[in-house]
Homo-oligomer: A and B are copies of this chain.
Amino acid sequence: MERVTMADVANKANVSKSTVSQYINNRFEYMSLETKKRIECAIEELNYQPNIIARSLKQKKTYTIGVIVANILHTFSTQVIRAIEDECQRKNVNVIVCNADDQPSKERKYIETLRAKQVDGLIIFPTGGNLDLYKKLEKSGYPLVFVDRTVENTDITSVLLDNEKASSLAVDHLVGKGYRNIAFLTTSIEMNITPRIERMDGFKKALQKHNLPLLEQLFAGEEIHKMQEKMHFMFSQDKVPDAIICGNDLTLLEVLKFCRKKALTIPTDVALVSIDEVSFSEIYNPPITVVTQPSYEIGTYAAQQLLQKADEHEKTEETIIRFEPKLVVRSST
């Protein structure tokens, strides 16, 4: 347990700490070959490993970034995180992931502890509930990138999907297939969460584009545990939907649960399109048509943006970067 320090190495090799430090940082210019070898041996023998904490303190860099995800349960979140981690590993940066569980208070706490831990920057899937903090971070020039969602009244770089287009792709496809009573369902839109709002808007615009009526009972943003009830209501109206667009993966699960309960056959009783990919879309009976996000690209791009900011400490010009959704047609439509 007794850790070996640089001083121990210096002693053993009969040089000063400074020289060992030079060695550790691969600055061999001012060091004889003989010295270099002695240090090498000492490190080997003592099994020395530098204390990164000490280095971080002096250098004011931790080579660590934080990721605060609003809700880790979304498949999209996990994929983006995966991409961020890969990109950071390439750049030799560590990642600490925190899940805010959709609670602004948790998000706030994580932002604060991660800053206290001196992480070099933050990638946040913002809950939207901490505008003051976001602004404070922005003003202080702290490296910050938003993913999946934007926050109004800030100029923080945000990397996200062209959500309206995603809805439009789904609607175009369904209309093309002859469906006319298209419903749109998503998780709660109370909190002004970008993708939900934009996908809903995109849905409405797309319906208008096709000259389809906008029926109140055919779209809803509802909390997950009230969704069954909501669908029950939808299907008890006179205009029963012949197709449903699920605003995200969690919604899809609820819709499938409902279909199973009501013994609705897909796609004959009702067609289904999910925005966001799910693990089982290909192997489900029937396989499910989805609009996918390029989540890996989004994550990679976000990480690159952040690392660039953390490195150069300059603002990058663009503030909102949109990625293109893609329709993958399967048998649920």
**CA separation between A50 and B57, bound complex, in Å?**
12
Q: Are B99 and A85 in contact (CB under 8 A)?
A: yes
Partner of A53, one of B56, B140, B280: B56
Interface pair B142/A52, CB less than 8 Å apart: no
Tell me whether A49 and B112 are in contact in the complex, defined as CB-CB below 8 angstroms, given that A282-B257, A285-B260 are known contacts: yes
A71 CB–B CB distance under 8 Å: no
The reply on A30 being an interface residue by CB < 8 A is: no
Cα-based distance from A72 to B97 in the complex (angstroms): 14
Q: Is A279 an interface residue (CB 8 A)?
A: yes
Choice from B72, B113, B253 contacting A279 with Cβ under 8 Å: B253
In the complex, what residues of B have CB within 8 A of residue A49's CB? 112, 115-116
Give the size range of A's interface with the partner: 35 or more
Chain A 33-64: CB-based contact to B (< 8 A → 1; otherwise 0): 00000000000000001111110110000101
Copies per assembly: 2
Asked if A27 is an interface residue, CB under 8 A from chain B, the answer is no
Let me know if A292 is at the binding interface, CB within 8 A: no
Residue from B1, B97, B116, B260 within 8 A of A51 (CB atoms): B116
Q: CB distance B282 to A284 under 8 Å?
A: no
Per the 8 Å Cβ criterion, residues 60-74 of A in contact with B are: 62, 64, 72
Report if A117-B94 is in contact (Cβ < 8 Å); known contacts: A49-B112, A62-B53.
yes
The B-contacting residues of A in range 227-282, CB under 8 angstroms, are: 253, 256-257, 260, 278-280, 282
Q: Report how far A69 CA is from B237 CA in the complex, Å.
A: 49
Across the interface, name the chain B residue whose C-beta is closest to A50. Answer: B116
Chain B residues whose CB sits within 8 angstroms of the CB of A51 once the complex forms:
57, 116, 118
Q: CA A50 – CA B97 in complex, angstroms?
A: 21
> How far, in angstroms, from A113 to B85 measured CA to CA in the complex?
15
Contacts of A118 in B (CB 8 A): 51-53
Bitwise interface map of A from 134 to 149 toward B, beta carbon under 8 Å scored 1, else 0: 0000001110000000
A115 to chain B: which residues have CB within 8 Å? 49
Please tell me if the beta carbons of B282 and A279 are within 8 angstroms of each other in the complex. Answer: no
Q: What residues of chain B lie closer than 8 Å to A116, measured between beta carbons?
A: 49-52
> Which residue of chain B lies nearest to A47 when distances are taken between CB atoms in the complex?
B136
The contact of A1 among B53, B57, B96, B142, by CB within 8 Å, is: B142
Task: Confirm or deny: A78 has a beta carbon within 8 angstroms of a beta carbon on chain B.
Answer: yes
User: In the assembly, what is the distance between CA of A260 and CA of B282, in Å?
Assistant: 9
Q: What residues of B have a CB within 8 angstroms of the CB of A282 in the complex? A: 257
Smallest Cβ-Cβ distance to A51: which chain B residue: B118
**Complex partner residue of A140 from B1, B85, B113, B280, CB under 8 angstroms:** B1
List chain B residues, Cβ under 8 A from A99.
82, 85
- What is A's interface to B at a CB cutoff of 8 Å? 1, 49-54, 56-57, 62, 64, 72, 78, 82, 85, 94-97, 99, 112-113, 115-118, 140-142, 253, 256-257, 260, 278-280, 282-285, 287, 313
Q: Beyond A1-B140, A52-B113, A284-B284: 5 further Cβ-contacts under 8 Å?
A: A1-B141, A1-B142, A53-B53, A256-B280, A278-B279
When A and B form their complex, which 5 residue pairs have the shortest distance between CB atoms, in order from nearest? A285-B285, A256-B283, A280-B280, A52-B116, A1-B141
